[in-house]
């Protein structure tokens, strides 16, 4: 008879060596799996409404193509545009903007002059005015090289798409196998999976909605009001929106500062107001909530995490995992919350059982 301890040790050792062998692909596997879980509600609806042959494979191909066309292809295109756009920035003009900004910050108008002492201390510490033009050019080149490095790891996107496709086809079988290894009753396994999948789906759909709507809104605003490259900056605003809380302002505020330095004071204020009222207020805090309420009702997405904890998890995840932390961190947090809920329910069940046993 084989010892259970030996089987457990062999199983852990096997998982360790499998992780070691596939360590270069772990991020692709994890992200592909999480994206498959996020889009599972759409997959289930398509499976129920389809009655043709090989529907599992065809639906998986369809979802993979949609993910590529609407998420990865725009990102690849944006990175390529950024690599071409950043080196074309005039370093002399950028240096002049920096000097004008420093001059403006050194003589703040009322009532902002209460911050003058602190700002002067910061400016004196960094000594921005003594920055050489060569340094500005070097900085722009480094930023361009950064985008080129991102462009150079596009193969990871296709790796993620490949594993996403596989998880769509074999995900249910892998889920059944994984649940058999968990030492808990079927009801708790379903609770854990629902908490994980519902949270990830909610984060995914909410993020995609914000990226599309805010990107389109900002692009149309620039197209109507300025001669900026509305398409490029609209895409930039859309992708930056994925960063919680501050993402909306990372594109709009620099443009507002440039307009301020060009003495277009009214338009600078209009950009700030449009960002705060329309993009952050109307779209992010109102329309997104209405959309999420519809999605949660449509797909029956119920989860324990509040919006605040999800936002904090996304911010923390970006610092640890990079851009993919937007979906990885909420998945880890929802898994933790699901385990806590299972522990509480099992503890209550055991306590109730013991109380009944004592009474009898």
- Which range marks the domain in which residue 247 is found? 185-346
| Residue 20 maps to a domain | no
Closest by Cα among 215, 258, 211 to 233: 215
| Residue 76 maps to a domain | yes
Tell me, yes or no, whether 104 and 213 share the same domain.
no
Overall average pLDDT of the 249-278 stretch: 86
Tell me, yes or no, whether 194 and 103 share the same domain.
no
pLDDT tens-digit readout, 187-231: 777 878 888 888 888 889 988 998 999 999 999 999 998 888 888
Overall average pLDDT of the 2-25 stretch: 81
Give the whole-angstrom CA distance, residue 4 versus residue 119.
66
Tokens linked to 48: 């129920």
Residue 144: alpha-carbon gap to chain centroid: 22
Structurally, how many domains does the chain consist of?
2
Q: Given this model, what pLDDT does residue 342 score?
A: 81
Tell me, yes or no, whether 156 and 189 share the same domain.
no
Mean residue pLDDT of the chain comes to: 79
Tell me, yes or no, whether 342 and 212 share the same domain.
yes
| Residue 97 maps to a domain | yes
Tell me, yes or no, whether 327 and 194 share the same domain.
yes
Tell me, yes or no, whether 168 and 215 share the same domain.
no
Q: Which of 176, 197, 223 is the last residue of a domain?
A: 176
Q: Given this model, what pLDDT does residue 325 score?
A: 87
Closest by Cα among 35, 64, 81 to 235: 81
Q: Which of 121, 153, 176 is the last residue of a domain?
A: 176
What predicted TM-score, i.e. pTM, was given to this entire model? Answer: 0.77
Asked if residue 165 lies in contact with residue 61, where contact means CB atoms within 8 angstroms, the answer is yes
pLDDT tens-digit readout, 326-356: 888 888 888 888 888 888 877 666 665 555 5
Closest by Cα among 264, 283, 266 to 220: 283
Overall average pLDDT of the 81-101 stretch: 63
pLDDT tens-digit readout, 219-248: 999 999 888 888 888 998 888 888 877 888
C-alpha distances in Å from residue 352, one per residue of 141, 347, 355, 356, 357: 67, 9, 5, 6, 9
| Residue 3 maps to a domain | no
Tell me, yes or no, whether 144 and 268 share the same domain.
no
Residues across the chain: 360
């Amino acid at each position: 008879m084989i010892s259970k301890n030996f089987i457990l040790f062999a199983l852990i050792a096997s998982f360790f060596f499998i992780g070691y062998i596939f360590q270069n692909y772990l991020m692709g596997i994890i992200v592909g799996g999480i994206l498959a879980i996020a889009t599972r509600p759409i997959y289930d609806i398509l499976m129920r409404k389809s009655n043709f042959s090989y529907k599992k494979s065809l639906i998986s191909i369809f979802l993979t193509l949609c993910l590529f066309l609407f998420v990865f292809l725009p990102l690849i295109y944006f990175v390529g545009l950024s690599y071409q756009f950043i080196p074309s920035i005039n370093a002399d003009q950028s240096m002049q903007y920096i000097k004008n900004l420093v001059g403006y910050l050194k003589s703040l108008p009322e009532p902002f002059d209460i911050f003058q002492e602190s700002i002067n201390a910061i400016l004196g510490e960094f000594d921005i005015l003594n920055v050489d033009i060569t340094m500005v050019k070097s900085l722009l080149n480094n930023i361009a090289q950064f985008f080129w490095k991102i462009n150079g790891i596009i193969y990871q996107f296709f790796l993620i798409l490949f594993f996403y496709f596989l998880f769509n086809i074999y995900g249910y079988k892998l889920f059944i196998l994984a649940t058999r290894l968990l030492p808990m009753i079927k009801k708790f396994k379903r609770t854990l999976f629902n908490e994980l999948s519902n949270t990830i789906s909610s984060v995914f759909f909410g993020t995609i909605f914000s990226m599309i709507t805010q990107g389109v809104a900002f692009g149309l605003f620039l197209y109507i009001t300025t001669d900026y490259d509305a398409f490029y900056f609209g895409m930039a605003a859309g992708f930056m929106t994925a960063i919680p809380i501050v993402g909306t302002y990372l594109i709009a505020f620099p443009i507002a500062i440039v307009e301020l330095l060009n003495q277009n004071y009214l338009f600078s204020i209009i950009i700030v107001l449009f960002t705060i009222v329309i993009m952050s207020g109307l779209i992010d805090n109102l329309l997104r909530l209405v959309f999420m309420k519809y999605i949660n009702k449509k797909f029956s997405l119920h989860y324990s995490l509040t919006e605040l904890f999800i936002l904090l998890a996304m911010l923390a995840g970006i610092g640890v995992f990079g851009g993919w932390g937007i979906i990885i961190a909420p998945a880890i947090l929802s898994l933790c919350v699901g385990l806590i809920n299972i522990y509480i329910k099992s503890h209550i069940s055991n306590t109730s059982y013991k109380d009944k046993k004592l009474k009898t």
